Amino acid sequence: MLDTVVLISGGGSNLKALLTAAEQPDSPFRVVAVAADNFCDGLCHAADHGVPSFVVSPKDHSGSRAAWGEALAAGIREYGVNASNGLVVSAGFMRILPPNFIAEFSPRLINTHPALLPNFPGAHAVRDALAAGATETGVTVHVIDEGVDTGPIIAQHAVPVLEGDSEEELHERIKTVERQLLVNVVKDIATGKQPLPPQP
Ligand code: GRF
């Protein structure tokens, strides 16, 4: 059984998909905790599924990214998830993780991103794809390294951009695909079907 901690910042629909999948009797993973950088709406999904959650805000760490990273890592360690046995899933976590956190958990630290990386990295991937006139975008699940959405790619799925798509419409279509891809990747990591790259 793979123990996972999910990191969120917003509505948490990817988190909800993971929590629902984890409750299936044959699930090879479980969500042992949810962590957020703010008191966001998505935390209600953790409560609904009886999973503990905690908030570690950078604002409470006097501007030190390393101190924030250590506080977040300490919260995760409390649930027995570490670099050798668990998985940390950034699912709509809208902050760049600090180097000390990445060094501790990567490659057992993955992110989902709403574009076909290496295209459109960063916080506005859907808007950027529309602005570039892309006819296709999608979703990428990748290992987090110290760059912004640069780590080794685990899985991708394309989504067409439709004529007249708004950012919200396109993002919702991407998220429908994203939730399924993320659940499948976590299952595959749990069963060993999806190997993770060696620690850098
Ligand atoms: C997802 O598309 C994620 O890739 C992006 O923000 C969205 C979060 O959605 N970074 P949700 O909070 O899981 O509903």
Q: Using one digit for the tens of pLDDT, what is the confidence trace for 29-74?
A: 999 999 999 999 999 999 999 999 999 999 999 889 999 999 999 9
Q: Specify the pLDDT at position 83.
A: 86
Query: What pLDDT score does 200 carry?
Result: 63
**Per the residue annotation, which of 45, 113, 142, 171 is the catalytic one?**
113
Is ligand 1 within 6 A of the CB of residue 13? yes
DSSP-assigned letter for residue 62: T
**Which portions of the chain are predicted below pLDDT 70?**
200
Q: Are 72 and 98 in contact (CB under 8 A)?
A: no
Give residue 112's pLDDT.
Answer: 98
With vertex at residue 53, the alpha carbon angle to CA 52 and CA 58, rounded to the nearest 5 degrees, is 160
Residue 113 designated active-site: yes
Judge contact between 98 and 106, C-beta under 8 A: no
Specify the pLDDT at position 6: 98
Rounded to a whole number of angstroms, the CA Rg of the chain reads 16
Q: Calculate ∠ Cα 162-150-176, nearest 5°.
A: 35
Checking DSSP bridges between strand 29-36 and strand 153-160, what pairing results, if any?
A: unpaired
Pocket test for ligand 1, best of 6, 9, 13 (most atoms within 8 A of CB): 13
pLDDT of residue 63: 81
Write down the pLDDT at residue 178.
98
b/e 121-142 (16+ beta carbons within 10 angstroms → b): beeebbebbbeeebeebbbbbb
Instruction: Tell me the DSSP string of 75-130.
Output: HHHTTT--TTTEEEEESS--SPPPHHHHHHHTTSEEEEESS-TTSS-STTHHHHHH
Q: So what's the pLDDT on residue 143?
A: 98
Q: How far is the CA of 103 from the centre of ligand 1 (A)?
A: 24
Q: Please tell me the distance between residue 91's alpha carbon and the centre of ligand 1 in angstroms.
A: 6
Tokens of 54: 């905690």
Q: How far apart are the first and last CA of the chain?
A: 25
Q: pTM of the prediction?
A: 0.97
Quote the pLDDT of residue 180. 98
The reply to whether ligand 1 has any atom less than 6 angstroms from the CB of 138 is: no
The vertex-75 CA angle with 107 and 3, nearest 5°, equals 50
Nearest residue by C-alpha to atom 12 in ligand 1: 12
